């Protein structure tokens, strides 16, 4: 496995692989990799001949009062996991914004709801860095986790608009044995908070498994099961437009975002029509 810090080296390697006819897969990450990321690398491998991973804690997607400074980092562990999952090139840039960089990429509409309403500017930071990374790597396929469902939908839109050659694929959400969605931020949770954090999945499971078609009734049941300190939202929406639904009469997505202690957690499940 190669490691690179310089964007030009990454561009050159990816270009040489593509010129040999290889399909280049790309998994962007912020590091502190876990089994969820490993499954994205495996998916990239299954679909492509070469796999590039980026490890970069993107300052643009953090708000002023968020956890940029204490975001967990473990570059050595990350590189071990990447090597064990057959990554060809790990890209660890010092920065992706050289002096003078002043472009922002914003997807309208999809980013004004759910996490976009709770975290102003977050998705602009995500689409700016992902567009920049797509420009550097030039992947055929890029893999994102379903755990950040809204991020996946927003990035798909951005790619269709600006990088139509990149196929954006979602990897299934990976959970711990107790049901907690894997996230680098889980390490902030105390033992007691971790128990309460399980209520997010419990609420979503109740919505998914119910036969009730009325969304207000389903959301009331979901809310009653949450043991959180602050609820940003719980919602049942169209999976692609993210528009709220009144009844689950077509495939839908139930999503939740809430603080347990000081840790903001998100989770989501697919909901079948009933
Ligand atoms: O999902 C993440 O880890 C980040 O939002 C991403 C896609 C790597 C962009 O910084």
Average pLDDT over residues 35-50: 98
Per annotation, catalytic residue among 34, 37, 45, 163: 37
Cβ count near 234 (within 10 Å): 23
pLDDT of residue 207: 98
pTM for this prediction: 0.98
Q: Which of 97, 102, 14 is nearest to 56 (CA)?
A: 97
Measured in whole angstroms, how far is the alpha carbon of residue 76 from the centre of its chain?
22
Report yes or no on 208 lying in a domain. yes
**Is 45 in the active site?**
no
Ligand 1 near 158 CB (within 6 A): no
Report yes or no on 272 lying in a domain. no
Pick the last residue of a domain from 145, 171, 197: 171
| Residues 141 and 56: beta-carbon distance below 8 Å | no
In the block, residue with structure tokens 């990350």: 78
Report yes or no on 177 lying in a domain. no
Sheet holding 89-91: strands in order across? 2-4, 89-91, 50-55, 24-29, 141-145, 167-171
180 pLDDT band, cuts 50/70/90, is: very high
- Please state, in angstroms and rounded to a whole number, the distance separating the CA atoms of residues 47 and 172: 15
Report yes or no on 273 lying in a domain. no
Pick the last residue of a domain from 110, 139, 171: 171
Pick the last residue of a domain from 171, 202, 233: 171
pLDDT of residue 179: 96
Of 26, 27, 30, best ligand 1 pocket probe by most atoms within 8 Å of the beta carbon: 30
- Please state, in angstroms and rounded to a whole number, the distance separating the CA atoms of residues 121 and 119: 6
Sheet holding 252-260: strands in order across? 230-237, 252-260, 263-271
Helix axes 191-209, 215-225, angle to 10 degrees: 160
Q: What are phi and psi of 239, to 5 degrees?
A: -60, -25
CA-nearest residue for atom 2, ligand 1, is: 29
Q: Are residues 97 and 195 in the same domain?
A: no
Q: Are residues 204 and 161 in the same domain?
A: no
34 pLDDT band, cuts 50/70/90, is: very high
> How far is the centre of ligand 1, averaged over its atoms, from the C-alpha of 153 (Å)?
13
> With pLDDT > 70 as the criterion, what percentage of the chain qualifies?
100
Per-residue pLDDT tens over the stretch 196-253: 999 999 999 999 999 999 999 999 999 999 999 999 999 999 999 999 999 999 999 9
Q: Which domain holds residue 215?
A: 184-267
């Amino acid at each position: 496995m190669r490691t690179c810090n310089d964007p030009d080296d990454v561009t050159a390697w990816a270009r040489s692989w593509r010129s040999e006819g290889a399909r280049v897969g790309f998994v962007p990450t912020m590091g502190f990799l876990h089994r969820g990321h490993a499954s994205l690398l495996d998916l990239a491998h299954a679909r492509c001949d070469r796999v590039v991973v980026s490890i970069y804690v993107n300052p643009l997607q953090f708000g002023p009062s968020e956890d940029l400074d204490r975001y967990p980092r473990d570059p050595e562990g990350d590189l071990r996991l990447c090597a064990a999952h057959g990554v060809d090139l790990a890209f660890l840039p010092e920065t992706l914004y050289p002096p003078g960089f002043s472009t922002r990429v914003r997807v309208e509409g999809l980013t004004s709801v759910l996490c976009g309403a709770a975290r102003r500017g977050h998705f602009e930071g995500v689409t700016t860095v992902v567009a920049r990374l797509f420009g550097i790597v030039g992947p055929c396929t890029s893999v994102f986790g379903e755990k950040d469902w809204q991020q996946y939908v927003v990035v798909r839109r951005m790619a269709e608009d600006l990088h139509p050659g990149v196929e954006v694929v979602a990897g299934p959400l990976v959970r711990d044995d107790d049901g907690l969605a894997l996230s680098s931020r889980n390490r902030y949770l105390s033992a007691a908070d971790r128990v309460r954090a399980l209520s997010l999945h419990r609420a979503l499971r109740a919505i998914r498994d119910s036969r009730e078609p009325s969304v207000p009734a389903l959301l009331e049941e979901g809310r009653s099961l949450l043991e959180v300190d602050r609820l940003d939202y719980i919602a049942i929406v169209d999976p692609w437009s993210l528009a709220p639904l009144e009844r689950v009469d077509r495939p839908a997505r139930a999503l939740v975002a809430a603080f347990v202690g000081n840790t903001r957690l998100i989770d989501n499940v697919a909901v079948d029509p009933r």
